[in-house]
């Protein structure tokens, strides 16, 4: 190996060593990837780092004209380490596809072929059957060398076939990650049968490992975000079903009393209560924003039931000229319910709620104002947690916002901001 090539080889090996260390560091510190994958990539990058280290040592042995036996031994160790990613990839592939490693034919075939390679590379330093070092420190391959590489080339072809066969079991990004890892290495192994490309294998394995890790990490982060979105949706569904027991009890009691006093009114309260329940249960399965008119109908039904119980102490004023927009299901009704439940003081006179809407330059605005007990920003009680949940759903489903403030004359003002939608969406909503 001439001096210039030796320097170039050591430089590439050093770059591969640093990149593999970077891979280990990212694997350790980066969140959003499962424990099994983290352990796999930690081992994977460690193997590559050790392989790069032996490459650096080999370069120095050439530079200092070390004994041929020592160089040949380091070459065999480097070859062994360089071969390890080949049987490691199907292990991770089987894990990602959910296949059983013990019963997998792919794993058995790969293990058998790698065992053959291990035996060949182990006896190579003692037999010198595949390569030799000349007196002027040149590395030369023998005609039998392709027999040594053949098991690894077949392993990589099996890996490529295994990835393609399991395409439907893998996400798009994980499938791409395996292709990035397998295709270049398969090509390099086949080339290695005819031309010495050790330096290309070394740096290629590092780059493919880093790209593969990036794809897998991106895929798992997307899955985690999707999972968090599902959790938020489930939490919203649970909120839908959380009807206060005493609210149901009081409603049924009011209907019972009205049956004798005012049968017509009793029938109307039953209809309002039915509408309220229907809207609640419909909202459980609704994963998209609904028309504001539908949410307003739900709120009116709820208020009609409440006013049957507090006829002389609950007054509601509607000023809603603007209705051509959409909101997440159960946005307005829980806010009004929250105001009545936590803002009403039975000893402070009539409780008033004003519901207003208006069109703004940037979208739509809903305001719910009451004259109740007021709002404390430092309060972390149940009503404010409920409003926080509504705010999360507004952000998630329509990029909206919710703001809470104290009224000028006491009470609480809750403002809902819905951004403007495209003309096509407006046409759909009409």
Is the residue at 90 inside a domain?
Answer: yes
Judge if 220 and 246 occupy the same domain.
no
430 has a pLDDT exceeding 60: no
Residues contacting 260, CB < 8 A, separation 6+: none
Residues 162 and 214 in one domain: yes
pTM of the model: 0.54
Q: Is residue 55 pLDDT above 70, yes or no?
A: yes
Say how far apart CA 191 and CA 112 lie, in whole Å. Answer: 22
Sign of CA dihedral 22, 27, 28, 29: positive
Residue 234 lies in a domain: no
The answer to whether residues 208 and 289 belong to one domain is: no
Q: pLDDT tens digits for 69-116?
A: 777 788 788 888 888 888 999 999 998 888 888 889 999 999 999 999
**Whole-angstrom Cα distance, residue 96 to residue 90?**
10
Does residue 253 sit in the same domain as residue 140?
no
∠ CA 112-117-121, rounded to 5°: 150
Q: What is the CATH number of the domain that holds 353?
A: 3.30.565.10
pLDDT at 105 (0 to 100): 92
Apex CA 321: angle with CA 318 and CA 326, to 5°? 95
Full domain range(s) for residue 395: 242-429
Look at residues 284, 300, 281, 302 and name the one whose alpha carbon lies nearest to residue 292.
Answer: 300
Residue 427 has pLDDT above 70, yes or no: no
Using the 3D structure, point to which of 178, 197, 224 is the last residue of a domain.
224
Q: How far is residue 215 from each of residues 33, 175, 208, 218, measured CA to CA in Å?
A: 11, 9, 10, 5
Can you read off the two tokens belonging to residue 253? 């009691």
Sign of CA dihedral 160, 166, 172, 175: negative
Kindly give the pairing relationship between strand 314-319 and strand 326-327. unpaired
Is the domain of 192 the same as that of 92?
yes
Give Cβ neighbours of residue 292 (< 8 Å, ≥ 6 apart).
320, 323, 324, 325, 326, 327, 332, 357, 364, 366
pLDDT digits (tens, 9 = 90+) for 363-394: 999 999 998 887 765 554 555 566 777 888 88
Pick from 305, 312, 313: nearest CA to 269? 305
Using an 8 Å Cβ cutoff, are 132 and 69 in contact?
Answer: no
Q: Where residue 43 sits, what CATH number does that domain have?
A: 1.20.1070
Number of domains in the chain: 2
What pLDDT, on the 0 to 100 scale, is given for residue 424?
45
Per-residue pLDDT, 249: 72
Within a domain: 233: no
- Quote the radius of gyration of the chain (alpha carbons, Å): 35
Residue 370 phi/psi, 5° resolution?
-135, 170
Domain assignment present for 317: yes
The domain boundary, picked from 224, 254, 289, lies at 224
Please identify, among 224, 256, 280, the residue that sits at the C-terminal boundary of a domain: 224
45 lies in some domain: yes
- For residue range 261-279, what is the model confidence (pLDDT) as tens digits? 888 888 888 988 888 887 7
For residues 392 and 311, membership in a common domain is answered with yes
Select from 430, 427, 372 the least CA-distant residue to 404.
372
Half-sphere exposure of 37 (CA within 13 A, CB side): 23
Asked whether residue 232 is domain-assigned, the answer is: no
Work out the pLDDT band at 7, boundaries 50, 70, 90. low
Residue 425 has pLDDT above 50, yes or no: no
**Same structural domain for residues 175 and 261?**
no
**Residue 195 CB neighbours (<10 A):** 8
Residues 179 and 246 grouped into a single domain: no
What's the CA gap between 247 and 255, in Å, rounded? 12
Of 404, 430, 429, residue with least CA distance to 416: 404
Greatest mean pLDDT among 136-150, 176-190, 204-218 lies in 176-190
User: Would you say residue 92 lies in a domain?
Assistant: yes
Q: Is 106 exposed, middle or buried (0-12, 13-18, 19+ CB in 10 A)?
A: buried
Instruction: Indicate whether 166 and 285 sit together in one domain.
Output: no
Alpha-carbon distances, residue 409 vs 276, 342, 344, 371, 412 (angstroms) = 31, 18, 15, 8, 9
Rounded mean pLDDT of 29-39? 79
Distance CA 177, CA 216 (A): 7
* Judgement on whether residues 169 and 36 belong to the same structural domain of the protein: yes
φ and ψ of 369, to 5 deg:
-120, 140
pLDDT of residue 61: 78
Q: Give yes or no: residues 267 and 208 share one domain.
A: no
Q: Within a domain: residue 236?
A: no
Are 330 and 424 part of one and the same domain? Answer: yes
């Amino acid at each position: 190996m001439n001096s210039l090539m030796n320097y170039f080889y050591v430089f590439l090996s050093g770059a591969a060593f640093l990149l593999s260390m970077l891979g280990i560091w990212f694997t350790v510190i980066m969140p959003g990837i499962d424990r099994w994958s983290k352990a796999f990539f930690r081992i994977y990058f460690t193997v590559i780092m050790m392989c790069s280290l032996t490459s650096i040592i080999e370069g120095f042995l050439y530079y200092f004209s070390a004994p041929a036996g020592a160089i040949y031994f380091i070459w065999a160790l480097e070859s062994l380490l360089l071969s390890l990613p080949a049987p490691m990839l199907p292990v991770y592939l089987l894990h990602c596809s959910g296949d059983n490693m013990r019963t997998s034919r792919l794993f058995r075939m790969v293990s058998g072929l790698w065992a053959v390679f291990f035996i060949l590379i182990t006896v190579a330093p003692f037999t010198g059957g595949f390569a030799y070092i000349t007196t002027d420190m040149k590395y030369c391959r023998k005609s039998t060398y392709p027999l040594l590489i053949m098991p690894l080339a077949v392993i990589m072809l099996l890996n490529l076939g295994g990835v393609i066969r399991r395409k439907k079991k893998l996400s798009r990004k994980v499938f791409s990650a395996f292709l990035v890892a397998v295709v270049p290495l398969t090509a390099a192994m086949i080339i290695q049968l005819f031309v010495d490309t050790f330096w290309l294998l070394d740096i290629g394995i590092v780059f493919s490992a880093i790209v593969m890790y990036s794809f897998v990490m991106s895929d798992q982060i997307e899955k985690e975000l999707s999972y968090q979105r599902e959790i938020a949706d489930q939490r919203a569904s649970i909120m839908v079903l959380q009807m206060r027991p005493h609210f149901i009890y009081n409603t049924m009691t009011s209907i019972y009393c009205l049956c004798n006093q005012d049968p017509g009114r009793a029938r109307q309260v039953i209809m309002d209560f039915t509408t309220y329940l229907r809207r609640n249960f419909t909202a459980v399965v609704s994963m998209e924003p609904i028309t504001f008119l539908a949410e307003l109908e739900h709120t009116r039904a709820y208020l009609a039931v409440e006013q049957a119980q507090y006829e002389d102490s609950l007054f509601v004023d509607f000023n809603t000229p603007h209705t051509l927009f959409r909101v997440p299901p159960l946005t307005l009704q829980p806010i009004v319910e929250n105001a009545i439940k936590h803002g009403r003081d039975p000893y402070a006179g009539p409780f008033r709620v004003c519901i207003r809407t208006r069109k703004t330059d940037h979208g739509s605005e809903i305001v719910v104002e009451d004259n109740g007990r007021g709002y404390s920003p430092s309060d972390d009680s149940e009503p404010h947690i409920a409003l926080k949940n509504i705010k999360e759903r507004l952000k998630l489903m329509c990029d909206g916002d919710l703001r809470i403030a104290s009224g000028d004359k006491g009470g609480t003002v809750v403002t809902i901001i819905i951004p403007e939608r495209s003309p096509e969406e407006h046409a759909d909503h009409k």
